[in-house]
Amino acid sequence: MDTFDLLVIGSGPGGTAAALRGAELGLRVALLERDPAGLGGTCLRRGCIPAKTWLESARRLEQGGELKEFGILGPEAGTLRPDLDAILARKDRMVLRGAKGIEFLMKQHGVTVFQAETRLLGQGRVSLGEDTLEAPRIILATGSRPKLLPGLQPDGERILSSDHLLELRELPSHLVILGGGAIGVEFASAFVRLGSKVTLVEALDRLLPLEEAAIGLELAKLLARRHRMDIRVGTRLVRAEVREGQVLCQLEGAKPGELAASHLLVAVGRGPATEGLGLEHTAAQLERGFIRVNPLMETAEPGLYAIGDLVNTPMLAHVASAEGVLAAEAAAQGSPRPLDYDRIPTCTYGDPETGCVGLSEAQARARGHEVLTGSAAFLPILKAHIAGEPYGFVKVVAEASTRQLLGVHILGPQATELVAIGGALLGRSLEEAMEQVFPHPSLCEALPEALKACGKR
């Protein structure tokens, strides 16, 4: 039986960060991965990185059709077309690059890597195939899987999960996407620009329902206007049937009716991958399917930690990484500071992008704050016009009495980059935040305009 100081199960962003931090703190660490494809987890192999590669190809195709507007002569509009085989080949190269990078970092830091089916045995022991490993501290980082709906089992051909969609070699003629969260919006943005007709269906009353309400409402208008996308919020899928090479979707609610589509993507979220993990051999407790942890990510089983999509915190790669570092520092018997989840940004890489950090207006009011808000559009910002993307807005939320900045919410060009500026300003007074001098011309000039508008009618 091999013995280590720390075992990390799962090699996604959280597990990778935990293993590296544990090694930096002097622990003898082993990283365990059951995916025969290799290291990287969902984010690298079936999530963030492949999806962003598809999105970038779609963005380049759209830009190619606008060359004349930017004074560039080239192919006539309509002659450019996507090559899905080439997109997939590029996606695979990005995944391989990421996996090789993780392998190099593990070797550099002296982390032992095992690839085999893994299961908790209790008392600090883990089965690894036919072998057994032992450690006084274990971090679980096995991530999540796409959620499935009863009676709507993906077949990989016409009814798809996000995993299937990333491997498509045929462009859907009409793609119905069930779910208007980040996954649904990103795939809708990619495939509509690649040339598919897209219908986006969301049961709640707006897209991106977990974000600032104004963003979801405006995003629906922009997608419908800019891409002629069929947006159906407040609408549910009650039945889907594959017949004669089509998917017949029966909808009810605000925009009911039957749709005949070439493909249906089920993008209703993800659930923690706890099946077969062996939690029954430990004192760890589940709550609504998630593993319950304390602020330092430790479960009810002493020395057993859980991070990332296994716990009921935002399902984001950078959250998993931060939790991995926190758990490793706690496992090394340090005194780390628990995470402040209010300061963690959320991003959606659609068209346009969204970036939010801090409290939304509704969240601030629910916590008892007297609220000031201010908004500024990108329309007057010349850099947005130069980039060809003069749409969207910045909205800020502040506490009325202290004028402390509570939240920054962005819909528009490069929102996923700009949101980090907002995060750095959180907690400052509006006056302190406005002392920051922003470069000109830049997209971030919309932020001080929103700050100045805060509280004005």
Each residue of 197-225: pLDDT tens digit? 999 999 999 999 999 999 999 999 999 99
Mean pLDDT of 184-199: 97
pLDDT in tens, 7-38: 999 999 999 999 999 999 999 999 999 999 99
Above 80 in pLDDT, residue 447? yes
Instruction: Tell which residue, 265, 19, 312, has the closest CA to residue 148.
Output: 265
The superfamily CATH assigns to domain 2-145+271-341 is FAD/NAD(P)-binding domain (3.50.50.60)
Coil vs helix vs strand at 240: strand
Common-topology check for domains 2-145+271-341 and 159-268: yes
> Model confidence over 65-83: pLDDT tens digits?
888 889 998 777 668 999 9
* pLDDT digits 0-9 by tens, 326-372: 999 999 998 999 999 999 999 999 999 999 999 999 999 999 999 99
Distances (CA, A) of 232 to 238, 256, 349: 14, 9, 20
Contact in structure between 61 and 79 (CB atoms under 8 Å):
no
369 catalytic? Reply is: no
CATH 3.30.390.30 fits 352-453, yes or no: yes
Q: Give whole-number Cα distances, 168 to 52, 155, 163, 269, in Å.
A: 15, 13, 10, 20
**Active-site residue, from 109, 227, 369, 440:** 440
Domain boundaries, the chain: 2-145+271-341, 159-268, 352-453
- Sequence-distant (≥ 6) Cβ neighbours of residue 81 within 8 angstroms: 61, 195
pTM: 0.95
Let me know if 70 is exposed, middle or buried by CB neighbors in 10 A (0-12, 13-18, 19+): exposed
In angstroms, the Cα distances linking 336 to 161, 322, 364, 414 are 38, 11, 27, 33
pLDDT in tens, 162-182: 999 999 999 999 999 999 999
**pLDDT interval class at 426 (50, 70, 90):** very high
| 455 confidence band (pLDDT: 50, 70, 90) | confident
CATH 3.20.20.70 fits domain 159-268: no
